[in-house]
Amino acid sequence: MAIQELRKNDMMAHLLESLDAGKDIGHYGRLVFAMVARHFLSESELIDYLQKDKDFSEQEARSLYLQVQGKDYNPPRRERILQWQSQQEFPICPNPDNPDACNVYKDLQFPEEVYEHISEYHEHKADS
């Protein structure tokens, strides 16, 4: 069920398919995947998926999960994903010319605390 939710976003479907095929999705591909998928998958499901990347061990997958969870990272905005994509070979965003592509907030429903955290960030930034 949770995997089906993630597949509603073309970029996440692309990352899931690439991981299922055992492809190396790159450091930033794994980071984006973890930052988004942690809101839909259990810890063990997320770690299992990351390990499908042929160059990523269980220890590395667990470490990335704990980092993302511990820092409570919000899912990245499209602009950040494209910036990270430019720093690696694997295309995280399969259709970067489409302005709606790779916007996880357009296709996925996150827990309310994600939106609250973003709102607090913008309020704090405006006060600075």
Confidence band of 54 (pLDDT split at 50, 70, 90): confident
Task: Report if pTM > 0.85.
Answer: yes
Where do we find the tokens 């055992």?
A: 22
Least confident of 46-50, 98-102, 117-121: 117-121
- Tell me the average pLDDT across 111-120: 70
Q: Name the helix (H) or strand (E) containing 51.
A: helix 43-51
Q: How confident is the model at residue 122 (pLDDT cuts 50, 70, 90)?
A: very low
Is 50 exceeded by the pLDDT of residue 19? yes
Comparing CA positions, the residue from 31, 3, 10, 16 lying closest to residue 99 is 10
pLDDT at 82: 96
Of residues 115 and 83, more confidence is placed in 83
- Asked whether 90 and 57 are in contact (CB, 8 A), the reply is no
pLDDT at 125 over 60: no
Question: Average pLDDT for residues 103-109, to the nearest whole number?
Answer: 90
Q: What is the crossing angle of helices 10-20 and 43-51, to 10°?
A: 60
25-41: pLDDT as tens digits: 999 999 999 999 999 99
pLDDT band at 111 (very low <50, low <70, confident <90, very high): confident
Cβ 33 vs Cβ 19: under 8 Å: yes
Q: How far apart are the first and last CA of the chain?
A: 42
Taking all residues of the chain, what is their mean pLDDT, rounded to a whole number?
A: 90
